[in-house]
Homo-oligomer: A and B are copies of this chain.
């Protein structure tokens, strides 16, 4: 039997959906728009992608993509499942992308075309080591054996002086936070380069840890040209740091894999830019497919957003993303979902009830730094909110005992 990659698409077309599925399979394997010499039956048997199923779905109601063939009134929607022979590309993520997520988005036959899921053969597990630390390794390095890891993002995102940054990091570390990250906008800017930021921040974290006995994980954003990734990683490692962060779409999945193969620290995978190819329901790549590729490429932490966030996704979509990241891939590839964007203490109970797991990294930026009594009070409020959720204690009862939590709820609201 052929080893195959199975790709699932949601499409719309005014043409018969079965015919469109055949065009997709043909264009993305051995066909072109006219019959050509040497395209033998034997070649097709070995290399042709094959349509496994076409199921009709209710129409989305969204405008057809530009250039779509046929009459708009004839459009139907369907889920198309196609098997691609592994022999066409081998277990190579970049080559896989050209096959399952390449030219086909441009086909006139499609009024909508979205890659929603991928099922990969074991050969990919042999080729890609994937997350090196995952949930367990991250808990160990962050010193938080149970409960959700609570984190924050340095704010303002950019522009702090090194002294201001160090003061903020000291305050957060003193407050007992588990995780601090650079903003996705703060990478290696000329004014505050990693060469200056990494040793200064690590010095603060070590000094604080001497007193508190606990050092938070700090994700340094090392997003940059490929040739600087290993250098910046080594800088973090050598300074005693425990995490590096990259914007997955900026360095690319191939760039993430390149880093992974040289990496001795967890990789915090930020999804900035994901919306460009995923927010339209008519086009692109859905989170379920994307997160599998990102985990293969080595991301230990993956942003899913959280409920009630400031971005476009519904709570149901966010919760599905969290489940996706926690679902084993090829028998492993455990990664930690990162709940972020607009997260506040008032969301802890609703989140825990919906996800049913403590294996989460919950980030609050404004929800911590914007606390009227300062960042330390913000951390305390988040911690108490989550502790009460895990204990099954109502939020109000805990807030009555913890003034920082009461203030946070009054300031940021609740779900």
Contact = CB atoms under 8 A, between A and B. Distances in A.
A312 B69 CA distance: 9
A160 to B, nearest CB: 6
A378 to B, nearest CB: 10
A246 to B, nearest CB: 8
A314 interface: yes
B61 A63 contact: yes
Contact of A88 (B101, B189, B247, B366): B189
A272 B187 CA distance: 28
A108 B36 CA distance: 48
Contacts of A105: 273-276, 279
Contacts of A90: 188-190
A366 to B, nearest CB: 4
Contacts of A31: 156-157
Interface stretch (A219-227, A321-329, A351-359, A394-402): A219-227
Given A258-B226, A279-B66, A155 B95 contact: no
A19 to B, nearest CB: 15
Interface in A129-163: 155-160
Nearest to A101: B273
A280 to B, nearest CB: 4
A37 B370 CA distance: 7
Interface string A331-373: 0000000000010000000000000000000000111011000
A47 interface: yes
Nearest to A255: B254
A226 B226 contact: yes
A330 interface: no
A67 to B, nearest CB: 3
A294 to B, nearest CB: 13
Interface stretch (A50-58, A204-212, A281-289, A384-392): A281-289
Chain copies in the assembly? 2
Contact of A280 (B103, B190, B280, B305): B280
Contact of A277 (B160, B227, B284): B284
A158 B310 contact: no
Interface residues of A, number: 102
A156 B279 contact: no
Contacts of A188: 90, 92, 95
A178 interface: no
A305 B274 CA distance: 25
Given A39-B156, A159-B47, A369-B36, A94 B29 contact: no
A34 B253 contact: no
A151 to B, nearest CB: 15
Nearest to A61: B63
Nearest to A252: B252
Interface of A: 28-39, 43-44, 46-47, 61-63, 65-68, 87-90, 92-95, 97-99, 101-108, 115, 155-160, 164, 168, 184-185, 187-191, 223-227, 247, 249-255, 257-258, 261, 270, 272-277, 279-285, 305, 310-314, 342, 365-367, 369-370, 374-375
28 contacts: A30-B158, A31-B157, A32-B370, A36-B156, A47-B158, A62-B63, A67-B313, A67-B314, A89-B185, A89-B189, A93-B250, A97-B249, A98-B187, A102-B185, A104-B275, A107-B310, A225-B258, A226-B226, A226-B255, A226-B258, A227-B258, A250-B254, A252-B252, A255-B255, A258-B258, A275-B283, A277-B284, A280-B282
Nearest 3 Cβ contacts at the A-B interface? A252-B252, A67-B312, A105-B275
